[in-house]
Structure 1
Amino acid sequence: MDLFRKKEINSLTDCSEHLLKCLSATDLTFLGIGAIIGAGIFVLTGIVAATQTGPAIVFSYIMAGLACAFSALSYAELAAAIGGCGSAYGYAYAGFGEFIAWIVGWDLLLEYSIAVSAVSVGWSSYFNDFLLAMKIHIPVFLLHGPVDGGIINLLAMSIIGVLSILLIWGVKSSSRFNTIMVLVKLVVIFLFIAVAVMEVNPKNWVPFSPFGWSGVMQGASLIFFAYVGFDAVSTAAEEALHPQRDLPIGIIGSLLICTTLYIIVSGLLTGIVHYSTLNVASPISRSLLMLGYKTVAGMVGVGAIAGLTTVMLVLFYGLSRVFFAMARDGLLPQFFSVINIKTRTPVRIIILCGLIMALTSAFVPIGDLAELVNIGTLFAFVIVCSGVIILRYTRPDLPRPFKTPFMPYVPILGIVSCVYLIFNLPWFTMLRFIIWMMIGMLIYFTFSRLNSTLQKSQECPAE
């Protein structure tokens, strides 16, 4: 029983004959921005500033951004060298072998599905506020699940249904929709920056770090959620026109743009109002209302809806592509690896995942389960950073159009920073993650190992 049998690099790069290649470097960059800018900048910034960091939140964004940058450089090298097939899952298959690849893939399924469900609940709240402003009232029992005093979260369920249809329609259509939504939220962010620059009061930055350096680091652990999503760019490898060239551009470019915007927005936000007033779910809108900019505040609300929509779309897209890669490899039922002839998309996977996430968001309170997104992402980052180091020594001959600089220090720093952030998460989050992984291992040993296409090819070698 070979738990660590590896896929050849060639089989990873040559597995893209089924999905439609249509995404450019610009599409991939917008895909990354669509996944990253969402709940973090529109929700978390105010809460973290008010309770953890004060105006020093800019340093929290820098620290969390650096941790992501180390991992992003590692992702970029593996994406350029290996190319397609399921993001960190495919990289783990090449670097560590099948069992570790299964663990990473199972982890990514949790990360993306919980993230989409959690964000859909936040989206429903923002969209309900928008409907109320239009004097459209939805009964309260249709806005919350049973645990929260309602019957069903109809809005959360509906948006996942809409995104399912969009993804089934085709990746190019989904990409166009994502680009439009990204442009909307970028316009809103730049509008806030233009207004805030004129309203900054330096007195609001005093004291600059009321909670000390420990508060800055605790804030960085929470702020990390604002960066979740750039790794979803690598799941688009099979549909990228030039994956070896364009994936590094999309990964690093989107992270760089978003980090810059995060630092500017958080600095201005704490400059126009006192940080202690920002402990609300809509800090940007609230700060603008306090200054009398009602119209701009309303536009920010629209931008928040657009931002959360693209986060769900891109993470749902990433979920379906990881699921597809695992099903094609036989680690999940190959029934789901069928591609629709007309749309060139994995329709069965999209329908299954859409139903599960819609039901989850409709009836289950997400709450602290959202922290599973962080631990799942960080775990995948650790594997990717480790994979870069291992492949440098085991496959020195592998063509690398992009190389991680300062090897092995950059990936080592990525591993250390991610492990540090993992240990800053609550213990029950780790416990739930371990339980999920144990379920995954049970499935691997009872189904996946026996049905793996790699296993079957070794049992029946070609003559």
Structure 2
Amino acid sequence: MNNVFRKKSINDLMANSRKNELSRSLSLLDLIFLGVGCVIGTGIFVVTGVVAAESTGPSIVISFIIAGIACALAAFCYAEFSSAVPVSGSVYTYTYATLGELFAFLIGWDLMLEYVLAIAAVATGWSAYFQSLISGFGLHIPETLSSAPGSGKGGMMDLPAMLIILLITALVSRGVKESTRFNNIMVFVKLAIILLFIGAGISYVRPENWTPFAPFGFEGIVTGAATVFFAYIGFDVIATASEEVKSPKRNMPIGIISSLLICTALYIGVSLVLTGMVPYQQLNVGDPVALALRLVGQDSIAGIISVGAVAGITTVLLALIYAQVRLTYAMSRDGLLPKKMATVHKKYKTPFFNTWLTGFVAAGIAGLVDLTTLAHLVNMGTLAAFTLISIAIIVLRKKHPEIKASFRVPFVPVLPAISALLCIYLSLSLPETTWKAFGIWLAAGFIVYMVYSRKHSNLN
């Protein structure tokens, strides 16, 4: 049993980083835009309306604040780790150095499912917005090619969702600088669109729409907070970029915390304006932001919002594919997954095979599987990762006091302990089926670890 809890030394982790297999080309602005690009997408354009209608009413603002606080506590832990140990793999790598190989593999296995499902779910949302956008020009994709089997629409595959994943995969495989240049342009467009909505919609806010403020009570607010966690999953993507960032000890903490603050402020602003413009009962639609503008006669701005949504969701896909590939790259480099997934293309300096494998798997899921019943698993995976990193920072301080980080979590161990407990509390509000599915996936991961990964581990 000691073997399964063996730890990778901090020195070995840093030695891997210094090999420079991946190109260090990301600036601080690239890093912030990577985080904002992943966090601001489906959450702000879709989840706000659905959660307000089903769980919270106008008090969705409080749900975003609670989820933001939980994320901020975890973000502090990510910031310290990423400045102390700037290595690919994010929470998987940090867990390997503090809690041992088995826990590291299981959280990596958990995040693999989270990222792939998130890619597929986001691509499905992109497909819906894209079809809505082109319908304004009189163009329509046959339902057999625009919806997955089991979605109730008689479809054979969601072809737009599959194609957008493969297009982004091609971009990510060509190099990190090319990907981030595209991402930065799309994020700039997205931020301009969101500020346009807030500016245009604020004059149509009617305070009576905020009454009752919490129609589903405090329980609804907590359920809403657990659900809108889906909207926040992106900021930990920044931590996966550690090996490709210039001056990581300085830039990683600033990038993580800045992106989270920007995104929380935007979520609060949009949800306040949205629920003030339209009674919350009417927001259970796929495009609530555009709907709100149409209902007040701003059809032209609603059309612009749809363009922004397509651009915004595209950046989420880019960041998620990037994060999934860097996670499995780190696991493969450690021997816990087949070594082929850690090979770096000589010209593009990217894990080329790994990137395309991820793209094809995610495209298959997005095109052929109805994801409604699986969406909560993404939240579950995020909460599990945040819980583990909160515990890991306590272990890092105790076991490795010599490690110097440019950012240090205040009030250790109290603040990380609160972070872990808050994440566990939110996870308990997720459906029972989610817990069962999560348990089955972890059990499968345990078998894979015992049969393959334990024997092939570099530490074996």
2:217 equivalent among 212, 217, 238: 212
2:173 equivalent among 151, 162, 168: 168
Q: Partners of 2:341 and 2:196 in 1: how far apart? A: 44
**Residues 120-166 of structure 1, C-alpha deviations (whole Å, 9 max, x = no match):** 11111111111211222211100122323211111111011101100
**Residues 378-425 of structure 1, C-alpha deviations (whole Å, 9 max, x = no match):** 101111000001111111111121101122221111101110111111
Query: Which amino acid in the other structure matches residue 222 of structure 2?
Result: M
- Corresponding residue number in structure 1 for 2:453: 448
Query: Which amino acid in the other structure matches residue 50 of structure 1?
Result: A
1:21 equivalent among 21, 24, 32: 24
Query: Which amino acid in the other structure matches residue 235 of structure 1?
Result: T
**Residues 44-101 of structure 1, C-alpha deviations (whole Å, 9 max, x = no match):** 1112222222222111111111111110111111111111020001000111111111
- Corresponding residue number in structure 1 for 2:402: 397
Any conservation in 1 of the 2:222–2:426 contact (CA below 8 Å)? no
Any conservation in 1 of the 2:204–2:277 contact (CA below 8 Å)? yes
Q: Is residue 3 of structure 2 the alignment partner of residue 2 of structure 1?
A: yes
Size of the aligned set, in residue pairs, is: 455
- Corresponding residue number in structure 1 for 2:108: 105
Query: Pairwise mapping of residues 76-91 of structure 1 onto structure 2 (< 5 A)?
Result: 76-91=79-94
- Corresponding residue number in structure 2 for 1:32: 35
CA-atom RMSD in angstroms:
1.1
Q: Is residue 37 of structure 2 the alignment partner of residue 44 of structure 1?
A: no
Any conservation in 1 of the 2:329–2:351 contact (CA below 8 Å)? yes
Q: Is residue 61 of structure 2 the alignment partner of residue 64 of structure 1?
A: no
2:119 equivalent among 99, 112, 116: 116
Q: 1:360: Cα distance to partner? A: 1.0
1:184 equivalent among 178, 186, 189: 189
**Residues 149-200 of structure 1, C-alpha deviations (whole Å, 9 max, x = no match):** 2111111110111011001111001001111111111010000111122222
SS of 1:146's equivalent in the other structure is coil
2:268 equivalent among 263, 269, 278: 263
- Corresponding residue number in structure 2 for 1:458: none
- Corresponding residue number in structure 2 for 1:53: 56
Any conservation in 1 of the 2:223–2:430 contact (CA below 8 Å)? no
Query: Pairwise mapping of residues 337-352 of structure 1 onto structure 2 (< 5 A)?
Result: 337-352=342-357
Query: Pairwise mapping of residues 291-370 of structure 1 onto structure 2 (< 5 A)?
Result: 291-370=296-375
Q: Partners of 2:224 and 2:394 in 1: how far apart? A: 29
Any conservation in 2 of the 1:81–1:244 contact (CA below 8 Å)? yes
SS of 1:454's equivalent in the other structure is coil
Q: Partners of 1:160 and 1:277 in 2: how far apart? A: 31
Q: Partners of 2:321 and 2:3 in 1: how far apart? A: 32
SS of 1:20's equivalent in the other structure is coil
Query: Which amino acid in the other structure matches residue 31 of structure 1?
Result: L
Q: 1:428: Cα distance to partner? A: 1.1
Q: Report the identity percentage.
A: 47
Q: Is residue 155 of structure 2 the alignment partner of residue 150 of structure 1?
A: yes
Q: 1:209: Cα distance to partner? A: 2.1
Q: Partners of 1:345 and 1:425 in 2: how far apart? A: 36
Query: Which amino acid in the other structure matches residue 80 of structure 2?
Result: E
Q: Partners of 1:335 and 1:220 in 2: how far apart? A: 39
Query: Which amino acid in the other structure matches residue 58 of structure 1?
Result: V
Query: Pairwise mapping of residues 424-443 of structure 1 onto structure 2 (< 5 A)?
Result: 424-443=429-448
Normalised TM-score (structure 2) = 0.97
Q: Partners of 1:205 and 1:427 in 2: how far apart? A: 31
Q: Partners of 1:373 and 1:216 in 2: how far apart? A: 19
> Unaligned stretches of 5+ in structure 2?
none
Q: Is residue 208 of structure 2 the alignment partner of residue 203 of structure 1?
A: yes
Any conservation in 1 of the 2:227–2:376 contact (CA below 8 Å)? no
Q: 1:245: Cα distance to partner? A: 1.2
Q: Partners of 2:243 and 2:433 in 1: how far apart? A: 36
Query: Which amino acid in the other structure matches residue 348 of structure 1?
Result: F
Q: Larger deviation: 356-365 or 48-57?
A: 48-57
Normalised TM-score (structure 1) = 0.96
Any conservation in 2 of the 1:15–1:85 contact (CA below 8 Å)? no
**Residues 10-37 of structure 1, C-alpha deviations (whole Å, 9 max, x = no match):** 2212323200000111111100001101
Q: Partners of 2:203 and 2:242 in 1: how far apart? A: 43
Q: 1:146–1:265: structure 2 CA closer, same or farther, 3 Å change rule?
A: closer
- Corresponding residue number in structure 2 for 1:12: 13
Q: Partners of 2:209 and 2:433 in 1: how far apart? A: 37
SS of 1:261's equivalent in the other structure is helix
Any conservation in 1 of the 2:54–2:284 contact (CA below 8 Å)? yes
Q: Larger deviation: 271-280 or 176-185?
A: 271-280
Q: Partners of 2:257 and 2:33 in 1: how far apart? A: 12
Q: 1:50–1:146: structure 2 CA closer, same or farther, 3 Å change rule?
A: closer
Q: Partners of 1:48 and 1:335 in 2: how far apart? A: 41
Q: Partners of 2:233 and 2:202 in 1: how far apart? A: 28
**Residues 279-336 of structure 1, C-alpha deviations (whole Å, 9 max, x = no match):** 2221111110010000110111111111111111101100000010111111111122
Q: Partners of 2:240 and 2:81 in 1: how far apart? A: 12
Q: Partners of 2:222 and 2:446 in 1: how far apart? A: 34
Any conservation in 2 of the 1:12–1:85 contact (CA below 8 Å)? no
Q: Partners of 2:404 and 2:433 in 1: how far apart? A: 42
